[in-house]
Amino acid sequence: MEALSGTLTIEHEPSPGVVRANKSLMNSPEQLIAAARRGDQDAFRHIFERWARPVVSFVYDMVGDRALAEDLTQETFVRAYKYLDALRDESKFSTWLFSIAKNVAREHLRSAHNRSRKVALDDETVLELPDERPTPAGALLDKELNGVVRHALGALDEDKRLVFTLKVFQGRSYEEIAEITGFSVPKVKTDLHRARTEMRKRMGPYLGVKQ
């Protein structure tokens, strides 16, 4: 496990080992997971490269800090590697992985809350959404809109922010969200409806929507 810690990167090109795993395992998640369980780190690195960006995006929407999200994503994959044998259904790997990411993010938020009594989700230095590459003409408007979205998202309570992020930004089904969060489907639907209402209310003035 120590061999992986601190060495997984999100943006780099696949290593030759990953390419070999890619060719031999034919990109099948089930085969990659089976190989990783046998200790094939190249296979697990391929899993990491496939899922790191969506996990970073999800965690970022939970914690509001890009660098922190990358650190917590590293922790997510370290835990996934450590507990890979606990996964019983390879077809549900992404749901299982996002559940781990959710736990890692929540643990951090609660730890930070206990230290400061306030989660710093409204800091001006973390307003931009990740991986945006706006054109020069649209950069100012995009940054302003991203700031509005970030402030509105940060104002949601933790459960609503979690459900909203998984549904709206990650495109998960109600059933998948229920599996990831441990919530019932009715709670997922209720929290999502309330989150959308709150987001619409907070973003309405900026978007010119009448309340």
What percent of the chain stands above pLDDT 70? 68
Encode pLDDT of 43-84 as tens digits: 999 999 999 999 999 999 998 889 999 999 999 999 999 999
Asked whether the whole model's pTM tops 0.85, one would answer: no
pLDDT of residue 122: 40
Is the pLDDT score of 102 beyond 90?
Answer: yes
Q: Distance between CA 94 and CA 173 in Å, rounded?
A: 13
Encode pLDDT of 111-120 as tens digits: 765 554 333 3
Q: Are 130 and 56 in contact (CB under 8 A)?
A: yes
Helix (H, G, I), strand (E, B) or coil at 167: helix
**What interhelical angle do 93-116 and 66-82 show, nearest 10?**
130
Encode pLDDT of 162-198 as tens digits: 999 999 889 999 999 999 999 999 999 999 999 999 9
What does DSSP assign to residue 90? Answer: G
Burial 30-56 (b: 16+ CB within 10 A, else e): eebbebbeeebbbbbbbbbbebbebbb
CA-CA-CA-CA torsion sign (77, 79, 82, 87)? negative
Q: What is the set of domains in the chain, with CATH numbers?
A: 1-120 (1.10.1740.10), 125-211 (1.10.10.10)
Whole-number Cα distances in Å, 148 to 34, 57, 69, 111, 127: 43, 17, 20, 26, 8
